[in-house]
Amino acid sequence: MITSVIFFLFAGLAIACAISLVYHKNPLYSAISLVGVLISLACIYVTLAAPFIAAVQILIYAGAIMVLVVFVIMLLNLDEDKPVVNRLPHLYAIGGILGLVLLAQTFFIFYAVHRAPKQAVNTDETVGKTLSIGAGMYTEYLLPVEIVGILLLMSIVGAVILARRLEYPQLEIVVDNELERRNESEIKDEFRIRL
């Protein structure tokens, strides 16, 4: 009873936040909506008896990744999207078709799984607890954990290279090129500050 209340409450919240994520033009509002989705999903994981994943979801997604995104939004001081100028109209068609196909597929999955012969849902309460995750991670998933280590190391290197400021001579070239291309002198000052 409580489970289903929690589930439907947060499922609704998640979907509402997801729609708001797509709907809002302001990236910061989108980010806040996404945080809403992430936290709702964390609560839903609790109903699936996966407290560890729920905690990690909040810790990594909401607490690290999305903070980084919000940080970048604030750092770049992004405004609302400009009105559509040169958007290719066929993209909307593609988006619509893709959405419909995926939605149909969702119904199909629901139908297929709903109709499948009921197998008793396993209620092994230890699965999902920290102990089982830890044991799995150091036995069955030892190699993936090692690969993730390499992956994270590499992405640190990559992120540092990309986000590092340009050195001065290169910087000048970039500014001049861009100004020439844009032919807008009024943005010049802003540009130099931003860089």
Partner 1 sequence: MNTVFLADLVNPNTSLSAILPEMIVAIAGTIVMLYDSFAPKQRVVTGAISLVGLLISAFVLYTMWGNADIPANAWGGMIANDNLRLSFSFVALFVSAVTILISTVWTERENVPVGEYHSLLMFATVGMLFMASGNDMVILFLGLETLSIATYVMAGLRKSDLRSNESAMKYFILGSFSTGFLLYGMALIYGATGSTNITEIALAVANPNFPALLLIGAAMLVIGFGFKAATVPFHVWTPDVYEGAPTPITGFMAAGPKAAAFASFMRVFVLGFPLVAGATASVALHETWVTALTVMAMLTMTVGNIAAIVQNNVKRMLAYSSIAHAGYALVGFIGAGVAATADKRDAAIASVAFYMLTYAVTNLGAFAIVTLLAQKNDRRTEFEDYNGIGFRSPVLSFALSLFMLSLLGLPLTAGFMGKVLVFRPALEAGNSLLTILVVVAVVNTAISAYYYLRLVVVMFFRERTTEWLAPRISLPLAAALLITISGVFYFGIFSDRIIERFSQSPPRAVVKAEK
Partner 2 sequence: MEAIIKSIFPIAVLFGAATVAFGVVMMIVAYTVLAERKVLGWIQGRIGPNRVGPWGMMQPFADLLKFIFKEDIVPDKSTKFVYFLAPIVAVTCALMPMVVYPFGPAITNIDLSFLPYGLGDGIKQIPLTVAQIDVGVLFVLGITSVGVYGIALAGWSSNNKYSLMGGLRSSAQLISYELAMGASIIGVVILAGTLDLNGIIYAQMSSPWYSRWFIIPQFVGFVVFLIAAFAETNRVPFDLPEAETELVAGFHTEYSALKFALFFMGEYVNMFTVSVMCATLFLGGWYVPGLSHLFPVGSLLYAVFSVVGFLIKISAFLFFYIWVRGTLPRFRFDQLMNFGWKFLLPVALANVIFTIILVYFLNS
Partner 3 sequence: MEPSLATYLALSGILFTIGATGVIFKRNALGMFMCIELMLNAVNLTFVAFSRYYADVTGQLFVFMVMSVAAAEAAVGLGIFIAFFRNRISIDVDDANILKN
Can you tell me the distance from the alpha carbon of 153 to that of 165, in angstroms, rounded to the nearest whole number?
21
Q: Kindly state whether residue 28 participates in binding partner 2, applying the rule CB under 8 A.
A: yes
Pick between residue 165 and residue 183 the one whose CB is nearest to partner 3: 165
Per-residue burial over 137-162, b if 16 or more Cβ lie within 10 Å, else e, is eeeeeeeeeeeeeeeeeeeeeeeeee
Q: From 38-46, 55-63, 110-118, 184-192, give the range in contact with partner 1 by CB under 8 A.
A: 110-118
Pick between residue 26 and residue 105 the one whose CB is nearest to partner 1: 105
Q: What phi and psi values does residue 25 have, to the nearest 5 degrees?
A: -85, -30
Q: Binding partner 3 by CB under 8 A: which of 74, 76, 146, 172? A: 76
- DSSP letter, residue 117: P
Helix H segments across the chain?
2-23, 27-47, 51-56, 66-76, 90-115, 130-138, 142-163, 168-182, 188-194
Q: Which residues bind partner 1 (CB under 8 A)?
A: 105, 108-109, 112-113, 116, 119, 131, 134-135, 138-144, 147-148, 150-151, 153-155, 157-162, 166-167, 170-171, 173-174, 177-178
Q: Which residues bind partner 2 (CB under 8 A)?
A: 1-2, 28-29, 32, 35, 39, 51-52, 54-56, 58-59, 62-64, 67-68, 70-71, 73-75, 77, 129-130
